[in-house]
Chain A
Amino acid sequence: MAMRDLVTGGAACAVPGSSSSSNPLGALANALIGSSSQKERLQEIPTSALNSSGNNLYAGGVDPLSALPGSELEHPLHQQNKGSEFINGFHAANDNRLAEVWDGIQNPQIPHFPPGQPQLQPELNGPPQRVLSSFLHSFVNSSHGGVPFGPTQLPVLGLSEGDKRCIRDRSSIMARHIFADRSEDFINGQVNALLSSLEIDNQGMARGPMPGRYPELEQYWGESQAMPPRPHGADGWADEFAQHRAGQGDPNAWALSFERQHGTGGWASEFEHEQSQMASVGQMAGPNIPSLAAMEQTRMLAHTLAQNNNPKFQNSKFLQFVSKMSRGELTIEDNQVKPASADWANEYQQQYNAGPSSWADQFAHEQVSRAPERWADDFANERVHHGPVDEQWVNEFSKLEVNDWADEFGRQVGEGILGDDSADNWASAYDEYLNEQAVLKEKSDSSRGVYVFSDLNPYVGHPEPLKEGQELFRKGLLSEAVLALEAEVLKNPDNAEGWRLLGVAHAENDDDQQAIASMMRAHEADPTNLEVLLALGVSHTNELEQQAALKYLYSWLRNHPMYGKIAPPELSDSLYYADVARTFNEAAQMSPEDADVHIVLGVLYNLSREYDKAIESFQTALKLKPRDYSLWNKLGATQANSVQSADAIYAYQHALDLKPNYVRAWANMGISYANQGMYEDSIRYYVRALAMNPKADNAWQYLRISLSCASRNDMMEACDSRNLDVLQKEFPL
């Protein structure tokens, strides 16, 4: 999840191109209602039915532009030039029309439509400019909640080439400002939805993102250090948060902001976001998984709603607009927007119990889903993007001989035919999603310090499992060492050293969730163990949990035989970054030869994002402890954070020279290559890391992103099926 934006950002296309000429000027086709076929609509029948009644759109009276002073004529009004209908149309709207129009869109009962489809054929047959205006409004405002902007079928608006160019260019540039904290895919998705709805050729985005100077964002940090504690979902929000705070230097503001972030959606919903990011990468990968991508869009929607509970945003015109668009009268009640991950499955269960026919209704009551129409919009979007226009999803659906999608859904659920490998089967994607959610929920519960033991552990009953575990760990056989150490802590649950080593093994094996659980147990068993305190401090730093990190790091100092006396106990109650940092600096002056103090200082500076100082501290520590591979890894991660990926690779290489089985360093290596745009190289490192520990879920996700960015869609299947043999053959290191 680290670097997802980064990597995907690199994949964005920035080639200016010419707009299509498919849309004849000045034609307002009557929007099709009822049974009109998709094809008919797409023919864009040119008509001369443009409305030119002279009512001014804005009360208060504005001279039509045609009355502008002649001096302007050397630079003619472009709309006028290109189609006077356009101008006139701006003055032809009936204000109430819009509401009717959008309400109309919502009506799921429109006869003749295949189920689920109505929202795709809005009766937008008002004056084109009014429609356009509202449509653009919804696009711009979709930023407020970060809600994906669904494509809408609009009537032919008679946009000139110039108009289209403007819309394309400006919306793509603005989207990058407005959706700055979203991924490049999300931004492209928004813009593409806009453009495709307006039938604007989006082949060449006029201005892509700025090339180059894509920094290694803070989010990278969450992945690259020794022990991020929570399940991988947690990294998602930490990264997201880190990105929010990019360039942040003030720890207090940081803490505040963290609280805000933490308080709203929670990390679980962030995970969803994460997941959807992943999927949108997949969505770029090709047309083979469109329905999955559509599902992901829905998830993103759920996530973003859960995340943003700023009442102001939720009260904005925009959200009202979108809610109207999505289901009529739904208003967002800010505090009831739940983190979607936990509730989705339950809701689903209820719906299922209530019978498939009520599915749509149920959905309508569920904020999380934000109404099925949106979902289907997104789905349609996918179809539009991944096929010729005349092969829209409706047709796809009819191929499946689905007359009533609700029934079909019910049938499929009932018969359990969801595993159909047809990529068009959205229902299966939905089902998969639910399963994932359930698994995720379990995982997230377990992440709260609950250690999950392996089944069938051959070391149970071993006479000296701790010794065996230490030996295996020393040899670098991490997965084996984990088993032996599990046997040890099963035997002696109070053995702090057993738990600690288990934690270290998991961390090095890139399994953060288990690592943090082990460390917590170690801490319980021995609250004064310095190494455990340091490890927990690092973990919380990775998570950007400043207070917790400070707590553990300060405990480290308090319990240290040498420095305990310079750490006043009263400080423990209210820790401020500055105080802690000062105390550690004192400690470093006391004994400049103690590598541990420099390591902690390095971690602290990471907390305050003073990366230069952090690098300096780690380098000092490395002079004292040149063979500490985890220290090299820390140095690398810090360098990567301060946009020195090349140096970071050097540091990781050092770590790997010292410990060739250091899975995390292999994965970090891959991340650094990916950050430099060297996706092929990054793939090799991810594959190597995975070969050593196929359970490193994060690395699988990075691999997927890199495959996508390197245009190796051919290997996507191998990645999804976790077929390491194929991957290793294809990407030898």
Chain B
Amino acid sequence: MPVFKTPFNGYSVKFSPFYEQRLAVATSQNFGILGNGRLHVIDLSPAGPIAEIAAFDTADGVYDVSWSESHDSLLIAAVADGSVKLYDLSLPPTSNPVRSLSEHTRETHSVDYNSVRRDSFISSSWDDTIKLWTIDRPTSVRTFKEHAYCVYSAAWNPRHADVFASASGDCTARIWDVREPGSNMILPAHEFEILSCDWNKYDDAVIATSSVDKSIKVWDVRNYRVPVAVLNGHGYAVRKVKFSPHRGSVIVSCSYDMSVCMWDYMVEDSLIGRYDHHTEFAVGVDMSVLVEGLLASTGWDELVYVWQHGTDPKAP
């Protein structure tokens, strides 16, 4: 399957919700510690190599990217300088970014576009806050400040327009409703920093969290005392966790152990696939909504892989 080489270290990869062949890739120079960043938009083609549709440079690393759910050409990027930038592929490079929203006081680490209420998105930052934005406003709608440490990830509930979850270095995950003043639920999900969280796409009460403790835990927010499942198998911190858009119990994850793992948390031998194609930390992974089983991953080896589950990502 196709491979794309990025000049900088990969940080995040996302399939377009509109075009099955299109992906966005967030990259940062020097592992995001210092230097520039670049946002790539690439197209797979059945025969030839991956084609780069667009590339946007930033003055600091790009840590995350999210496609708009309302416009096929709109992208949001989380930039290490604390800004959130909007890019429009339909506009010439000189007009991009169409907006640069600088409110976070520290690195913005994640962005997520609301798939239900399609004019809003959230960003999470190392300044311990999460911010709610809408496409048409120059400033954030709300700031959620409760976490006691960096918020590494925030993800909208796929069913409820107002509900999202956040994962923080304060070892908690929190569930929020943007209509409420504070968080609805505090989930002391791990004993180490929590790096990522995602909602089950078929059960709106189930979330997964991944942590520096190398585990992934699946939780039912209606009964959060014990995890529904604990998935062990990664050898280092689990950097990103993502539920399958096609199968309710399937999760994909990537880790500093350089591997991408596929899990089914409902079955006994949960680990159903393991891919060791990256040669440095694997930090970004996504599953296509439009093509079942299509996976993409990126890592600090500056490579983006796209492959079908069950096949060898490195196979030509």
- B100 CB–A CB distance under 8 Å: yes
Interface residues of A in 147-206 (CB under 8 A from B): 159, 163, 166-167, 169-171, 173-174, 176-178, 180-181
Q: Which residues of B contact A140 (CB under 8 A)?
A: 31, 33, 300
Closest-by-CB residue of B relative to A246 is B213
B102 contacts A69, CB within 8 Å?
A: no
B interface majority secondary structure = loop
Mark each residue of chain B from 176 to 208: 1 if its CB lies under 8 Å from any CB of chain A, else 0: 000000000000101111010000000000000
B7 contacts A210, CB within 8 Å?
A: no
> Which of these, B100, B149, B190, B215, contacts A74 with CB under 8 Å?
B100
B34 contacts A72, CB within 8 Å?
A: no
A71 contacts B171, CB within 8 Å?
A: no
Q: How far is the CA of A62 from the CA of B39 in the complex (A)?
A: 13
- A250 CB–B CB distance under 8 Å: yes
Q: How far is the CA of A250 from the CA of B102 in the complex (A)?
A: 45
Minimum CB–CB distance for A722 against chain B, Å:
34
Q: Which residues of A contact B58 (CB under 8 A)?
A: 72
B191 contacts A246, CB within 8 Å?
A: yes
A247 contacts B169, CB within 8 Å?
A: no
Q: Which residues of A contact B60 (CB under 8 A)?
A: 78, 166
A246 contacts B300, CB within 8 Å?
A: no
Q: Which residues of B contact A75 (CB under 8 A)?
A: 59, 81, 83, 100, 102
A80 contacts B31, CB within 8 Å?
A: no
Q: Which residues of A contact B300 (CB under 8 A)?
A: 140
A180 contacts B97, CB within 8 Å?
A: no
Minimum CB–CB distance for B191 against chain A, Å:
4
- A521 CB–B CB distance under 8 Å: no
| Contacts A137-B30, A170-B80, A170-B107; A246 near B192 (Cβ below 8 A) | yes
> Which of these, A62, A136, A174, A217, contacts B7 with CB under 8 Å?
A62
- A568 CB–B CB distance under 8 Å: no
Closest-by-CB residue of A relative to B106 is A169
**How many residue pairs bridge A and B at CB < 8 Å?**
166
A250 contacts B33, CB within 8 Å?
A: no
B191 contacts A170, CB within 8 Å?
A: no
Interface residues of A in 29-50 (CB under 8 A from B): none
Q: Which residues of A contact B100 (CB under 8 A)?
A: 71-72, 74-75
> Which of these, B96, B126, B232, contacts A245 with CB under 8 Å?
B232
- A77 CB–B CB distance under 8 Å: yes
B94 contacts A69, CB within 8 Å?
A: yes
Q: Which residues of A contact B106 (CB under 8 A)?
A: 169
A210 contacts B170, CB within 8 Å?
A: yes
- B254 CB–A CB distance under 8 Å: no
Q: Which residues of B contact A247 (CB under 8 A)?
A: 190-191, 213, 215, 217, 230, 232
Minimum CB–CB distance for A318 against chain B, Å:
8
Q: Which residues of A contact B83 (CB under 8 A)?
A: 75
B33 contacts A249, CB within 8 Å?
A: no
| Contacts A213-B191, A248-B215; A166 near B33 (Cβ below 8 A) | yes
Closest-by-CB residue of A relative to B270 is A250
B214 contacts A244, CB within 8 Å?
A: yes
- A492 CB–B CB distance under 8 Å: no
| Contacts A75-B100, A180-B237, A247-B191; A213 near B33 (Cβ below 8 A) | no
Q: Which residues of A contact B7 (CB under 8 A)?
A: 58, 60, 62
| Contacts A140-B300, A167-B33, A312-B258; A210 near B97 (Cβ below 8 A) | no
Interface residues of A in 209-243 (CB under 8 A from B): 210-213, 215, 217
Q: Which residues of A contact B170 (CB under 8 A)?
A: 210, 213
Q: Which residues of A contact B171 (CB under 8 A)?
A: 210, 213
- A317 CB–B CB distance under 8 Å: yes
Closest-by-CB residue of B relative to A136 is B30
Closest-by-CB residue of B relative to A75 is B100
| Contacts A136-B34, A180-B237, A207-B126; A68 near B57 (Cβ below 8 A) | yes
Q: How far is the CA of A132 from the CA of B35 in the complex (A)?
A: 10
Q: How far is the CA of A210 from the CA of B167 in the complex (A)?
A: 13
Q: How far is the CA of A163 from the CA of B281 in the complex (A)?
A: 23
State how many residues of chain A have any CB contact under 8 Å with chain B: 66
Q: How far is the CA of A62 from the CA of B57 in the complex (A)?
A: 9
| Contacts A78-B60, A176-B212, A207-B150; A316 near B280 (Cβ below 8 A) | yes
Q: Which residues of B contact A178 (CB under 8 A)?
A: 236-237, 256, 281
- A253 CB–B CB distance under 8 Å: yes
Interface residues of B in 64-105 (CB under 8 A from A): 80-81, 83, 93-98, 100, 102
Q: How far is the CA of A159 from the CA of B35 in the complex (A)?
A: 11
A253 contacts B280, CB within 8 Å?
A: no
Minimum CB–CB distance for B225 against chain A, Å:
10
Q: How far is the CA of A310 from the CA of B258 in the complex (A)?
A: 11
Minimum CB–CB distance for B111 against chain A, Å:
16
Q: How far is the CA of A166 from the CA of B93 in the complex (A)?
A: 27
Most-contacted residue by chain B among A213, A244, A247, A253 (CB, 10 A): A247
Interface residues of B in 5-46 (CB under 8 A from A): 7, 29-36, 38
A163 contacts B169, CB within 8 Å?
A: no
> Which of these, B30, B97, B239, B279, contacts A133 with CB under 8 Å?
B30
Most-contacted residue by chain A among B35, B93, B126, B193 (CB, 10 A): B35
A176 contacts B193, CB within 8 Å?
A: yes
- A426 CB–B CB distance under 8 Å: no
Closest-by-CB residue of A relative to B190 is A247
Minimum CB–CB distance for B268 against chain A, Å:
9
Q: List 9 A-B contacts (CB under 8 A).
A: A68-B59, A71-B98, A72-B59, A166-B60, A170-B80, A176-B212, A178-B237, A213-B171, A317-B279
A71-B100, A159-B34, A317-B279 known, 13 other contacts, Cβ within 8 Å: A65-B36, A75-B100, A80-B59, A140-B300, A143-B256, A177-B195, A210-B149, A210-B171, A246-B214, A247-B232, A248-B230, A312-B276, A317-B280
Residues of A in contact with B (beta carbons under 8 Å apart): 58, 60, 62-63, 65, 68-72, 74-80, 90, 129, 132-133, 136-137, 139-141, 143, 159, 163, 166-167, 169-171, 173-174, 176-178, 180-181, 207, 210-213, 215, 217, 244-250, 253-254, 257, 310, 312-313, 315-318, 643
Q: Nearest 10 CB-CB pairs, A to B? A: A77-B59, A215-B191, A180-B212, A58-B7, A69-B94, A210-B149, A136-B30, A177-B237, A140-B31, A170-B33
